[in-house]
Amino acid sequence: MTIELKAELRKAAAINRRKAHERQAESAPLLLASLAFPPKLTSGFNCVSAFHPYRSEIDTRPLLGRLAGEGWTTALPVVIAAGSPLMFRRWLPGEPLGKDAMGIEIPLPNAPQVEPDVLIVPLLAFDSEGYRLGYGGGFYDRTLAILRAKKRIVAIGVAYASQQVPSVPHEPYDQKLDFVMTERGIITCG
Protein backbone atom coordinates (compact mmCIF):
# COMPACT_ATOMS: atom_id res chain seq x y z
CA MET A 1 0.00 0.00 0.00
CA THR A 2 1.40 3.37 -0.94
CA ILE A 3 2.08 6.08 1.57
CA GLU A 4 -0.29 8.37 -0.35
CA LEU A 5 -3.19 5.91 -0.11
CA LYS A 6 -2.72 5.48 3.65
CA ALA A 7 -2.56 9.27 4.00
CA GLU A 8 -5.90 9.56 2.16
CA LEU A 9 -7.45 6.88 4.37
CA ARG A 10 -6.24 8.71 7.49
CA LYS A 11 -7.66 11.98 6.21
CA ALA A 12 -11.10 10.44 5.52
CA ALA A 13 -11.09 8.57 8.85
CA ALA A 14 -10.18 11.76 10.75
CA ILE A 15 -13.11 13.60 9.14
CA ASN A 16 -15.44 10.71 10.03
CA ARG A 17 -14.24 10.70 13.66
CA ARG A 18 -14.57 14.47 13.94
CA LYS A 19 -18.20 14.27 12.78
CA ALA A 20 -18.97 11.54 15.32
CA HIS A 21 -17.22 13.57 18.01
CA GLU A 22 -19.34 16.64 17.21
CA ARG A 23 -22.47 14.56 17.84
CA GLN A 24 -21.31 12.54 20.85
CA ALA A 25 -18.40 14.30 22.60
CA GLU A 26 -20.32 14.62 25.86
CA SER A 27 -22.19 11.32 25.95
CA ALA A 28 -19.57 8.86 24.63
CA PRO A 29 -17.08 9.17 27.54
CA LEU A 30 -19.84 8.48 30.08
CA LEU A 31 -21.15 5.53 28.07
CA LEU A 32 -17.63 4.06 27.87
CA ALA A 33 -17.16 4.50 31.61
CA SER A 34 -20.39 2.58 32.24
CA LEU A 35 -19.29 -0.48 30.25
CA ALA A 36 -17.99 -3.52 32.12
CA PHE A 37 -14.42 -4.34 31.19
CA PRO A 38 -14.14 -7.51 29.06
CA PRO A 39 -14.47 -10.68 31.20
CA LYS A 40 -10.96 -11.70 30.18
CA LEU A 41 -9.67 -8.87 32.40
CA THR A 42 -11.16 -9.98 35.70
CA SER A 43 -7.88 -11.28 37.17
CA GLY A 44 -4.15 -11.09 36.62
CA PHE A 45 -4.15 -7.51 35.39
CA ASN A 46 -3.59 -4.50 37.61
CA CYS A 47 -2.20 -1.62 35.52
CA VAL A 48 -4.08 0.09 32.70
CA SER A 49 -2.94 2.90 30.45
CA ALA A 50 -5.33 5.09 28.50
CA PHE A 51 -4.75 8.39 26.72
CA HIS A 52 -5.56 12.01 27.35
CA PRO A 53 -7.98 13.18 24.64
CA TYR A 54 -6.42 14.95 21.68
CA ARG A 55 -8.44 16.58 18.92
CA SER A 56 -11.57 14.47 18.35
CA GLU A 57 -10.55 11.42 20.43
CA ILE A 58 -13.05 10.14 22.96
CA ASP A 59 -12.21 11.33 26.46
CA THR A 60 -11.03 8.28 28.44
CA ARG A 61 -10.67 10.13 31.75
CA PRO A 62 -14.09 9.06 33.13
CA LEU A 63 -13.20 5.43 32.34
CA LEU A 64 -9.78 5.81 33.99
CA GLY A 65 -11.41 7.37 37.03
CA ARG A 66 -13.78 4.43 37.37
CA LEU A 67 -10.95 1.92 36.94
CA ALA A 68 -8.82 3.72 39.54
CA GLY A 69 -11.79 3.49 41.92
CA GLU A 70 -11.88 -0.28 41.29
CA GLY A 71 -8.23 -0.61 42.33
CA TRP A 72 -6.41 -0.44 38.99
CA THR A 73 -3.13 1.46 38.73
CA THR A 74 -3.82 4.01 35.99
CA ALA A 75 -1.34 5.61 33.62
CA LEU A 76 -0.90 7.75 30.53
CA PRO A 77 1.61 7.28 27.68
CA VAL A 78 4.55 9.56 27.05
CA VAL A 79 6.31 9.85 23.69
CA ILE A 80 10.07 9.69 24.22
CA ALA A 81 11.28 10.13 20.62
CA ALA A 82 10.28 9.30 17.07
CA GLY A 83 10.89 5.62 16.35
CA SER A 84 10.84 4.68 20.05
CA PRO A 85 8.23 2.79 22.05
CA LEU A 86 6.04 4.69 24.46
CA MET A 87 6.85 5.10 28.14
CA PHE A 88 4.04 5.09 30.72
CA ARG A 89 3.74 7.19 33.86
CA ARG A 90 1.26 6.66 36.67
CA TRP A 91 -1.55 9.20 36.62
CA LEU A 92 -4.91 9.55 38.35
CA PRO A 93 -7.63 11.74 36.84
CA GLY A 94 -7.46 15.14 38.48
CA GLU A 95 -3.69 15.12 39.04
CA PRO A 96 -1.66 17.90 37.40
CA LEU A 97 -0.38 17.39 33.87
CA GLY A 98 2.31 18.86 31.66
CA LYS A 99 2.40 19.05 27.85
CA ASP A 100 4.65 17.33 25.35
CA ALA A 101 6.08 18.90 22.19
CA MET A 102 2.79 18.31 20.31
CA GLY A 103 0.70 19.91 23.05
CA ILE A 104 -0.69 16.60 24.32
CA GLU A 105 -1.18 16.50 28.07
CA ILE A 106 1.08 14.03 29.87
CA PRO A 107 1.94 13.15 33.49
CA LEU A 108 4.59 15.29 35.14
CA PRO A 109 8.20 14.02 34.90
CA ASN A 110 8.23 13.05 38.60
CA ALA A 111 5.30 10.63 38.17
CA PRO A 112 6.49 7.02 38.60
CA GLN A 113 7.10 4.99 35.46
CA VAL A 114 4.88 1.88 35.19
CA GLU A 115 4.43 -1.01 32.77
CA PRO A 116 0.76 -1.54 31.90
CA ASP A 117 -0.97 -4.89 31.39
CA VAL A 118 -3.84 -3.31 29.47
CA LEU A 119 -3.38 -0.55 26.89
CA ILE A 120 -6.37 1.53 25.87
CA VAL A 121 -5.38 3.02 22.54
CA PRO A 122 -6.68 5.77 20.25
CA LEU A 123 -7.40 5.18 16.57
CA LEU A 124 -8.81 6.70 13.42
CA ALA A 125 -10.48 3.52 12.10
CA PHE A 126 -10.72 -0.16 13.03
CA ASP A 127 -12.00 -3.41 11.60
CA SER A 128 -13.55 -6.54 13.13
CA GLU A 129 -10.21 -8.40 12.95
CA GLY A 130 -8.65 -5.91 15.37
CA TYR A 131 -6.53 -3.92 12.94
CA ARG A 132 -6.45 -0.19 13.57
CA LEU A 133 -5.53 2.81 11.53
CA GLY A 134 -3.47 5.08 13.75
CA TYR A 135 -1.70 8.33 13.05
CA GLY A 136 1.24 6.70 11.28
CA GLY A 137 3.95 7.07 13.92
CA GLY A 138 3.98 3.38 14.90
CA PHE A 139 4.26 4.15 18.63
CA TYR A 140 1.58 1.69 19.76
CA ASP A 141 2.71 -1.05 17.36
CA ARG A 142 6.30 -0.85 18.67
CA THR A 143 5.15 -0.66 22.28
CA LEU A 144 2.70 -3.57 22.02
CA ALA A 145 5.29 -5.77 20.27
CA ILE A 146 7.83 -5.16 23.04
CA LEU A 147 5.34 -5.65 25.89
CA ARG A 148 3.77 -8.75 24.31
CA ALA A 149 7.23 -10.31 24.04
CA LYS A 150 7.56 -9.94 27.83
CA LYS A 151 4.09 -10.80 29.17
CA ARG A 152 0.40 -11.15 28.46
CA ILE A 153 -0.92 -7.79 27.24
CA VAL A 154 -4.42 -6.76 26.22
CA ALA A 155 -4.95 -3.94 23.73
CA ILE A 156 -8.31 -2.18 23.67
CA GLY A 157 -9.15 0.42 21.06
CA VAL A 158 -11.50 3.25 21.95
CA ALA A 159 -13.63 4.61 19.12
CA TYR A 160 -17.00 5.78 18.04
CA ALA A 161 -18.95 2.90 16.48
CA SER A 162 -19.01 4.79 13.18
CA GLN A 163 -15.21 4.44 12.96
CA GLN A 164 -15.53 0.74 12.12
CA VAL A 165 -14.63 -0.03 8.51
CA PRO A 166 -14.78 -3.29 6.53
CA SER A 167 -11.00 -3.66 6.42
CA VAL A 168 -7.95 -1.73 7.59
CA PRO A 169 -4.83 -2.14 5.44
CA HIS A 170 -2.08 -3.68 7.56
CA GLU A 171 1.54 -4.74 7.46
CA PRO A 172 3.16 -7.72 9.24
CA TYR A 173 4.41 -5.47 12.06
CA ASP A 174 0.94 -4.06 12.86
CA GLN A 175 -0.29 -5.17 16.28
CA LYS A 176 -3.92 -6.25 16.55
CA LEU A 177 -6.42 -5.07 19.13
CA ASP A 178 -8.11 -7.63 21.38
CA PHE A 179 -11.22 -5.51 21.90
CA VAL A 180 -12.72 -2.20 20.83
CA MET A 181 -14.87 -0.16 23.20
CA THR A 182 -17.47 2.08 21.54
CA GLU A 183 -20.44 4.02 22.81
CA ARG A 184 -22.56 1.02 21.71
CA GLY A 185 -20.62 -1.64 23.60
CA ILE A 186 -17.53 -3.83 23.47
CA ILE A 187 -16.45 -5.62 20.31
CA THR A 188 -14.29 -8.74 20.63
CA CYS A 189 -11.81 -8.74 17.75
CA GLY A 190 -10.49 -11.68 15.81
**32 φ/ψ sector (left φ>0, alpha ψ -120 to 50, else beta):** alpha
What confidence category does residue 130 fall into, taking pLDDT thresholds of 50, 70 and 90?
very high
pLDDT at 6: 78
What's the pTM? 0.93
What confidence category does residue 1 fall into, taking pLDDT thresholds of 50, 70 and 90?
low
Beta carbons of 117 and 162 less than 8 angstroms apart: no
Mean pLDDT of 97-105: 90
pLDDT at 124: 96
Could you state, in order of their start, the residue ranges of all structural domains in the chain?
Answer: 3-188
CA geometry: angle 58, 60, 61, nearest 5 deg: 130
Q: How would CATH label the architecture of 3-188?
A: 3-Layer(aba) Sandwich (3.40)
